[in-house]
Structure formats: C-alpha cells, structure tokens
C-alpha cells in the first residue's frame, strides 16, 4: 500500500515542510511502506501494477494560500486516497479528501492564555499575511479568544521592514506581542534590542513553530510548536486506516499544539511599551539589523539536519578559531574541513568564514549551540 507524495512541495522548501516530510518518511520506513515522489498523472501511472494490487494514497503539501482542488485536479480518476496537509478547515461536507492540520485555534488559545496569565492586558498580533489562509485563521482565532472584533494587528503585506516600522511608531501601549512565526519574531527582537535593551522586562513576546533557532537565540523565544513531524507521522497512520477500512471515505486529523516556555515570557505583569514615545529608528536601520527569511530557513535546516562536523565547524567559527585548530579538534583533515566550509559558504551565499561567523554570532547564542551539540551527541 504505497504512498505517493506530490513533489511540487519542492516549490516551498521551508523547514516546516521538511519537518512534515521527515516525519512522514521515517514513519513509512518504520511500517515498511513504500514512498514515491510524483509530479504528474503520468508519474503515478508508471506504478500501475502496484495501484491495482494495493490501496494507495496521494499526499499533497499546500502553500498557505493554495486550495486543494487546484492540485487534486491533476490526479482525478486515479485509484488514490488524497491526503492533504491543510492550513485551514475546508467544507467537510463537500471535500473529497482527507487532511491533517494543526490545531490553530488551540495554539492561539495557549498563546493568549499564557500572556494573560502573566498579567498582560494589551495584546497585539505581529506580521500577519492576509494572503495566507493560515494567518487569517489565526487572526479570527485571536479575535474570538482575546474577545475583540478590532484587535491590534500589524500587517506583513508590504514586507517585514514596513511591518516593524509600523510597530515601532505605534501609539498604543503593548505588553504582550504574539508573532505569527519565529522568523518574524527574531528580527524584531534585534530591533527592540537597539531601541531598549530592557524591552523584555516591559513586554512579553512569543512566536509560532518552535524552531531550533528560537531556542538557541538570546533571549530564547517562547514558541508554540505545531508539531509538524508528528503531522507527517499522522499522515502514515491515516493512510493505514484508510487502506484497512474500506468503509471509511475520508478522515480528518487535527494535531495538538504544545507551548515551549523560554526567556521572552518570564516577566510577570509587564508595564508595556508605547513605541511612539521612544527614539525613532529609520527603515534603513531596520533593514540593516534584520535578516532575510531565506537565511533563517537555511540556518534552521542546518541546525536540524546537518551532521555534527558541520555544527562543530559553526561553533568553532563563532569561537574565532582557525581552520587548522578546528580540524585538529574534530580529527579530520584540513581538506575535509574546508569542504564543509565551502558547503556553508554556498548555503548562506557568503564569501568567507568571517562573514559566516558574524552572521551566526548575531542570531545564535554560542553557549546554547554548544549545549545543543552536546545533547545531539548523547542521543
């Protein structure tokens, strides 16, 4: 009973999709279920014999602004049970597919509940993309849970620089900020450090996705995990249930979220910040301080999937060590180390080791990275 995975997910090479795929493939291997990557109807038909012998599923990864029907049309008429990684609930009475999705409402309930429990009373949502079904669901959940029809929301529509600029000129007092994902929260934290090094005693912040980068940053960012790898494993469970129970037409799995408490939500009853009363920061300065989402994605994927040699090389660069000393510590040849360094340069699009070291030191706490590597070594 094979699983066919639509390879158009390659168009969205996010760390979140990679986590879903990792969970799916690992669980399928554990269950000895074959996985095939396909990109068209013709690709599926090359496995016609298996399709006739065994129940099969088709897995689709959606971008946050995509509708399943657009992708499913390619495979209409094939003996496949469609399973979609969804971002919002569709019409369950009309949809002809199964789906796995995160509990966005439950995740927002945890986020708002934590900030209220810490004494926050003036909450805002940061970096909302209103073209994203994912984000729209979060805004609606926030309105319902926070209890207001007109919440303070900062729009990502014109880019992150404009979004941060809008926040730092805001006249409203904010004591709790919910960022739509960690990769929007981290650049904002750097701008806040520039405005007021004591900002985290005045305003609490959390993000979504629970990236490794959020845990290794200083201060470490509280984040709500949407458990993407578990979602990938759930796809395999759903596939097996559909294969074994012919009376089941479709199944819908909604995955629990989990809250990871860290530095940015430690303070109690924060007084809040009124950014318009602070020294203004220009768009040019904001642009200089922040990092592109592409670089964050690259760094997150390295932290999660790179070998320990690469991670120790990153730590050595952050410590200011030479290639010779790092190669001796790692018991590999200098040529071997330089190979890993070239891969890092290529991944980040950077020219030299100093540039990579400066980037890493900006976004990662070296002691946290050292502890993270130690944890990986003990697994």
pLDDT mean by block of 10 residues, the chain; 379 residues: 85 83 95 92 88 87 75 85 78 76 93 97 97 90 93 96 96 97 96 95 96 97 94 94 86 92 97 93 95 92 94 96 93 94 95 96 97 91
CA–CA separation, 84 vs 71, rounded Å?
10
The reply to whether omega before 219 is within 30° of 0 (cis) is: yes
So what's the pLDDT on residue 63? 74
CB 151 within 8 A of CB 125: yes
So what's the pLDDT on residue 238? 94
Strands 258-260 and 222-225: antiparallel
So what's the pLDDT on residue 90? 60
Return the closest-CA partner of residue 208 out of 141, 281, 162, 283: 141
CB 217 within 8 A of CB 365: yes
So what's the pLDDT on residue 324? 92
Task: Give the chain's domains with CATH numbers.
Answer: 3-101+227-255 (3.40.50.2300), 105-225+260-289 (3.40.50.2300), 306-378 (1.10.10)
Return the closest-CA partner of residue 158 out of 118, 133, 127: 127
CB 185 within 8 A of CB 222: no
Tokens found for residue 172: 């409203």
pTM above 0.85, yes or no: yes
So what's the pLDDT on residue 88? 67
So what's the pLDDT on residue 70? 73
């Amino acid at each position: 009973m094979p699983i066919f995975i639509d390879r158009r997910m390659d168009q969205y090479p996010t760390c979140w999709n990679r986590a879903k795929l990792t969970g799916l493939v690992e669980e399928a291997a554990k269950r000895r279920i074959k996985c095939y990557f396909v990109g068209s109807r013709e690709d599926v038909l090359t496995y016609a014999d298996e399709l006739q012998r065994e129940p099969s599923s088709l897995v689709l990864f959606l971008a946050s602004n995509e509708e399943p029907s657009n992708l499913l049309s390619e495979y209409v008429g094939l003996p496949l049970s469609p399973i979609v990684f969804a971002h919002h609930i569709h019409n369950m009475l009309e949809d002809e597919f199964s789906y796995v999705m995160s509990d966005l409402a439950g995740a927002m309930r945890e986020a708002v509940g934590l900030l209220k429990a810490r004494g926050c009373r003036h909450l805002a949502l940061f970096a909302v993309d209103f073209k994203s079904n994912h984000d729209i669901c979060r805004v609606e959940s926030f309105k319902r849970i926070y209890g207001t029809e007109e919440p303070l929301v900062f729009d990502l529509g014109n880019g992150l620089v404009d979004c941060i600029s809008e926040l730092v000129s805001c006249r409203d007092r904010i004591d709790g900020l919910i960022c739509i994902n960690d990769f929007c929260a981290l650049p904002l934290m750097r701008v806040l450090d520039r405005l007021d090094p004591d900002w985290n005693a005045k305003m609490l912040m959390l993000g979504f996705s629970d990236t490794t980068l959020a845990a290794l940053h200083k201060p470490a960012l509280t984040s709500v995990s949407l458990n993407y790898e578990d979602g990938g494993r759930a796809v395999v469970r759903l596939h097996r249930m559909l294969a074994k129970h012919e009376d089941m037409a479709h199944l819908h799995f909604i995955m629990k979220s989990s809250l990871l408490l860290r530095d940015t939500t430690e303070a109690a009853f924060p007084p809040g910040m009124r950014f318009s009363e602070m020294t203004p920061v220009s768009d040019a300065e904001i642009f200089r301080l922040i990092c592109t989402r592409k670089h964050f994605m690259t760094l997150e994927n390295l932290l999660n999937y790179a070998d320990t040699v690469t991670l120790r090389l990153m730590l050595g660069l952050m410590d200011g060590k030479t290639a010779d000393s790092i190669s001796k510590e790692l018991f590999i040849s200098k040529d071997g180390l330089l190979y890993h360094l070239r891969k890092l340069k290529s991944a980040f699009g950077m020219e030299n080791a100093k540039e990579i070291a400066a980037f890493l030191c900006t976004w990662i706490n070296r002691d946290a990275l050292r502890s993270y590597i130690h944890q990986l070594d003990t697994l």
